[in-house]
Amino acid sequence: MTDSPPPPPLPADAEQAPPTDPSGAGPKKFPCGQCGAKLEYTVGQDTLSCPYCGHETRIPQSSDEIVEIDFQAMLAELADQQDVEEFTSFHCEGCGANVEKPENVTSMECPFCGSNVVSTERSTKLIKPKSLLPFKITRDEGRRSFRDWITSLWFAPNKLKSYARLDDRLNGMYVPYWTYDSATVSYYTGQRGINRTEWYTDSQGNRQSRTVTDWYPASGTVWRDFDDVLVVASRSLPRKYADELEPWDLDNLVPYADDYLAGFRAESYQVELAEGFGMAREKMAKVIEGDVRRDIGGDQQRITSVNTQHSSVTFKHILLPVWICAYRYNDKVYRFLVNARTGEVQGERPWSWVKITLAVLAGLAVVGTVIYFIAQGQH
């Protein structure tokens, strides 16, 4: 999907969005300058708009640079609760999500699993997000994706098609992520395999060939610099599907501003900074393994050990936009996800074992019929 063109300039008298409270105390409010209603972020634009009178308010654009933060220094600062903010959230006992608490709301449906969350408000101190990707895919586009996906599923229960009409289940969420940079040097030991052809005579006296591998010791060093290794910091989303929403256009990150969250919800991270780096190391290790195999060379490789050292580790805490639909079917929760930047769709789905069984039986019947006619033709 190509980037959308930049929004047209607002009139000279267009109102600027009210400044955010530098103290961070209390929920941010964005009242309309004309009618006083709550403003919402306009998907794909740099404005807030009033859903009632249509008045537009420009989001102040920050000139702050989006910088990487030193990993070890931040771990040390966390002990003193530095560079953190108060985050008031609803905690869902069903899936563990910590969803930002809307103003004047005492109960809500969890957007991640559909459970009703009542009076489980909690307040915690968390690392502030420094940047985010604003929503680019609109709610209507997300709804169409959901309807198309539901109606296209093979071997789905018939009743599932009715969920395609439940548009109110689609929620716009900002999901927390960590990104990590690291300079790595890896020392390895292993074996290099060289294939050769060996000729032999079988028991019937026929000359045959076979491939034999000769193994030789190998060791060496490989270097790789990693940039923006992405780790989802939510435990509420199925990690398999969240990872498959990649790639994200991280080059288009903008400095964090509360204005972009107007009309959407945000989840606080549940994967801590140090734990997230452990997950990032696992991702890096898979890439390093490929580097090691190429360095060993030969026809085959055996890796005995890899010792990787990380240095110059930095990170960012960012928010990425996702359209989420959580629905229950036969007492099980299924999630549908849309990357709200690219439109990439991933989702969980139920299966109709009745339809699958009938399809298998029909397939066996076709095979049986073919075998029967072949057998008849041989008589």
Q: For 248-302, how does the pLDDT look when each residue is reduced to its tens digit (9 = 90+)?
A: 999 999 999 888 888 888 888 889 888 999 999 999 999 999 999 999 999 999 9
Q: For 337-368, how does the pLDDT look when each residue is reduced to its tens digit (9 = 90+)?
A: 889 999 888 876 554 444 556 556 666 666 66
Give which of 83, 373, 103, 372 is closest to 261, Cα–Cα.
103
| Residues 66 and 4 sit within 8 Å (Cβ to Cβ) | no
Give the global pTM: 0.68
Distances (CA, A) of 127 to 85, 169, 177, 197: 6, 30, 12, 60
For the chain, the domains span 1-61, 64-183+223-285+312-348, 353-379
pLDDT band at 53 (very low <50, low <70, confident <90, very high): confident
User: Any bridge partners for residue 90, and if so which?
Assistant: 99, 121
Query: Taking every pair of C-alpha atoms in the chain, what is the biggest distance, in angstroms?
Result: 97
Residue showing tokens 């969240």: 242
Coil, strand or helix at 369: helix
Q: For 309-325, how does the pLDDT look when each residue is reduced to its tens digit (9 = 90+)?
A: 898 888 889 999 999 87
Residue showing tokens 């969350």: 117
Structure tokens at 195: 């294939």
69-84 average pLDDT score: 59
Q: How many Å separate Cα 363 from the centre of its chain?
A: 38
pLDDT higher than 50, residue 7 = no
In 202-330 the beta strands, taken as DSSP E runs, fall at 207-232, 254-255, 265-266, 300-329
Q: What's the CA gap between 267 and 235, in Å, rounded?
A: 10
Residue-by-residue DSSP string for 78-90: HTTT-SEEEEEEE
pLDDT averaged over every residue in the chain: 75
Q: How many Å separate Cα 1 from the centre of its chain?
A: 18
Distances (CA, A) of 234 to 116, 152, 372: 19, 29, 56
> Residue 343: CA atoms inside 13 Å, Cβ hemisphere, count?
12
Is there a cis peptide before residue 60, judged by omega within 30 degrees of 0?
A: no
